[in-house]
Structure 1
Amino acid sequence: MDALDVIVHPEEIEAWFQPIVGAAPFKVEGYEIQSHFRGEPLKPFFQEDDVPIEYQLEVMGHVVRQAFQKVPSDTQAFILIRCRPAWLFENGGEDFLHVLRTVDSSFPKERMYVTLTDVQVDDFDRLGRIVAYYQNSGLKVALDRAEATSLERVFSMSPDMLIVDLSSMIEKKTVSASYPHLLQTMEHLCDQLGAPLLYKNISHLGQLRYAWQHGGRYYMGNLLGEAAPEWVMTCPGMEVLIHEVPMFYKYDREQMNRLFQLEQD
């Protein structure tokens, strides 16, 4: 993707929405804003270190403004907006905050999550202070790929949501013995922080079962609903959860009964 082409042709940038389904009501409760340029994801553009940060922020501002033009005024959903930590280091976080302030002021700040995508930075203390500044201004902060972040950093940042990436879990039979313990740690962290746990990149039922068994409050992935350029109120994930969750309960109950029978024997 030609970065200059993206900068010169902002009219060809599109904001897309990927639905996030809730575990309890089995309905769409939130959306992650994604960006495309001529049908291709803009993620490489935002991750390219050779592209000046001011240009990335300019393009991100276009994406955010376009996205919130499509958000219904009466929605109760929350919104995830991806953000590189490097963007927060620009002018003490004010530059990215300016991007968010261009959004329609009627959308509540408490339902707007700034999603930090890579917190492996040298000056983590400074990042933590900027995160606290954002939270004190009324915004929420979500930590993406929390499973790859040290526990010390997670507690230090005190995010309002933890996001766990299940893309490495291709098939249930390939999961390592330590994987369930990792997810249990994420579940415990969320309990300690009072933050919800979102599992993303769910593409098959094995991943969904793990997410449900390990404290997932929100689910996102192509199994549940693909990203689209239009705001949608329903997605396939609603029917998937309605059908599968009773089966999860049944399976767990059968497992417990077998354990009880084994103890009696």
Structure 2
Amino acid sequence: MDPLDVLTNLDEVIPYYQAIYSADEQQIIGYEVLGRIKLNDEAESLGEFFQDENIPDEYRIEVDDSILSLAIDEFLELKDSHLNLFINRDANLLMLDHGESFLEILLEKQQKGLKLNQIVLEITEHNFRGDIEQLYHLLLYYRTYGIKVAIDNIGKASSNLDRIGLLSPDILKIDLQPLRLSSPSQSYYDVLYSISLLARKIGAALLYEDIEVNFQLQYAWKNGGRYYQGFYLSKPQREFTKIDECKAMLKNEFQTYINSEKKKLENLYLFTENFNQRVQQILQKVGKQFENYEDLLQQLSKELNDCSFRIYICDEDGFQQSVNIFKQEKWEIQPQYFLHNWSWRPYFLANIMRMRFDQKGFLSDVYSDIETGELIRTFSFPLSQNHYLFIDLAYAYLYEEEGLL
């Protein structure tokens, strides 16, 4: 698109609105404003115009302000104080005048009935080239007016979690477009998991965007998404979508997810109980026939050859009290791990306490093994008063068992 077509046709620049849905109410909680221009009876996106840094800053700001002013006027006609208006701003342009012109528009509209706590400012952290401290202070200033902040496009490009944490947004928008790839890398899922942990720590809600198919919605629901946006739910439209447009569909979808997750958790519980009994029976069978822990591990490897690829024993402080026994083509002893300490691993000590008080084994979450790179689970079992058995279950075995991956 020729930038001149935009600048000479400002009266044809209009806002479109894409609905954002809530998990708890299954209805619309707000609309994101998207710039469009009507050319030859068709509405074309202004995304490229706003991202083109060859266009003078003042021209992009002028177009942005025109869209914002019209969008707020139309938003006020809804007369619904529970809805939010999500407004995209380039943080670099915002900081040119330290955010004053943007705030002036909002304060002017406040005189017409706009409540500033209905405004959600969306910025993209990884595009900002200025002083992050100054941006932080600006956002802090905006918050005194009730304006909320969302960090956009997380997951689409590299994002600095430290900077995001400093900005303390109210909402983190996670892009699920990479999930449409035939095989997203495990690192992608790990990054999303890290973002979800960050959101929990700083008290931010997760908004999953670019949801285009059902399984993306299911992923968002299962991974802490409070808000959802994408073509699967609503496409950008010139008019505001009715608040309960997708309520029945979302309710049905969520019930399907709930039933599936409950079944998976039931299978996981039953597997854990059965595997706990299996380990108990093996230990009773082995009894006191072993001379040392290495001998015990050799016997356990024979009994658990169908499911495990690594077995070892630690004390309650995380110090390994045995060698590793590790299976590649055959079982091998790895003496170098004796007395290694694993208490630094997340939840290690908490899990030790869990075994001590429950006096039964349990299954870990799925995680990537450092040595093999495969997705695995670990079954932990209290062996004696202060020694604990760890059995790493292979990916191939988990794949065959329903609900373990």
Query: 1:176 deviation in Å?
Result: 2.5
1:58 to 55, 59, 62: 62
Query: 1:122 deviation in Å?
Result: 4.2
Matching residue of 1:144: 152
Percent identity over the alignment is 29
Q: Write the distance in 2 (CA, Å) between the matches of 1:212 and 1:41.
A: 29
1:67 to 55, 68, 71: 71
Contact 2:150/2:172 (<8 A) preserved:
yes
Q: Write the distance in 2 (CA, Å) between the matches of 1:103 and 1:10.
A: 20
Contact 2:21/2:29 (<8 A) preserved:
yes
Query: 1:226 deviation in Å?
Result: 0.7
Q: 1:253 to 1:53 in 2, by over 3 A?
A: same
Contact 1:146/1:154 (<8 A) preserved:
no
Matching residue of 2:193: 184
1:107-156 CA distance string (max 9 Å, x none)? 21112011002433242222222222222333111111234421210111
Between 1 and 2, higher relative CO (CA 8 Å, sep ≥ 6) is seen in 1
Give the SS at the match of 2:207.
strand
Query: 1:203 deviation in Å?
Result: 0.3
Query: 1:238 deviation in Å?
Result: 2.7
Matching residue of 1:95: 101
- Of residues 54-63 and 119-128 in structure 1, the stretch that sits farther from structure 2 once superposed is 119-128
Contact 2:16/2:35 (<8 A) preserved:
yes
Superposed counterparts of 1:200-215, under 5 Å: 200-215=209-224
TM-score for both structures, normalised by structure 1: 0.92
* Structure 1 unaligned residues grouped into runs of 5+: none
Q: Write the distance in 2 (CA, Å) between the matches of 1:251 and 1:175.
A: 23
Length, aligned pairs only: 264
Q: Which amino acid aligns with 1:64?
A: L
Q: Write the distance in 1 (CA, Å) between the matches of 2:103 and 2:164.
A: 22
Contact 2:92/2:130 (<8 A) preserved:
no
More helix as a share of residues:
1
Indicate yes or no: 2:222 matched with 1:222.
no
Q: Which amino acid aligns with 2:170?
A: D
1:85 to 61, 83, 91: 91
Query: 1:165 deviation in Å?
Result: 0.6
* Structure 2 unaligned residues grouped into runs of 5+: 275-405
Give the SS at the match of 1:20.
strand
1:34-77 CA distance string (max 9 Å, x none)? 11012110111111101111111111111111112222123421
Contact 1:57/1:99 (<8 A) preserved:
no
Q: Write the distance in 1 (CA, Å) between the matches of 2:272 and 2:189.
A: 24
Indicate yes or no: 2:116 matched with 1:109.
yes
Q: Write the distance in 1 (CA, Å) between the matches of 2:228 and 2:259.
A: 21
Q: 1:170 to 1:193 in 2, by over 3 A?
A: same
Superposed counterparts of 1:231-246, under 5 Å: 231-234=240-243, 237-246=246-255
Matching residue of 1:20: 20
More strand as a share of residues:
2
Q: Which runs of 4+ in 1 moved over 4 A?
A: none
TM-score for both structures, normalised by structure 2: 0.62
Q: Write the distance in 2 (CA, Å) between the matches of 1:234 and 1:199.
A: 18
Q: Which amino acid aligns with 2:64?
A: M
Q: Write the distance in 1 (CA, Å) between the matches of 2:132 and 2:80.
A: 38
Q: Write the distance in 1 (CA, Å) between the matches of 2:243 and 2:271.
A: 44
1:164 to 159, 171, 174: 174
- Of residues 102-111 and 52-61 in structure 1, the stretch that sits farther from structure 2 once superposed is 102-111
Indicate yes or no: 2:141 matched with 1:154.
no
1:152-176 CA distance string (max 9 Å, x none)? 10111111111111011105x6232
Indicate yes or no: 2:54 matched with 1:43.
no
Query: 1:182 deviation in Å?
Result: 2.4
Query: 1:202 deviation in Å?
Result: 0.2
Give the SS at the match of 2:87.
strand
Contact 1:145/1:164 (<8 A) preserved:
yes
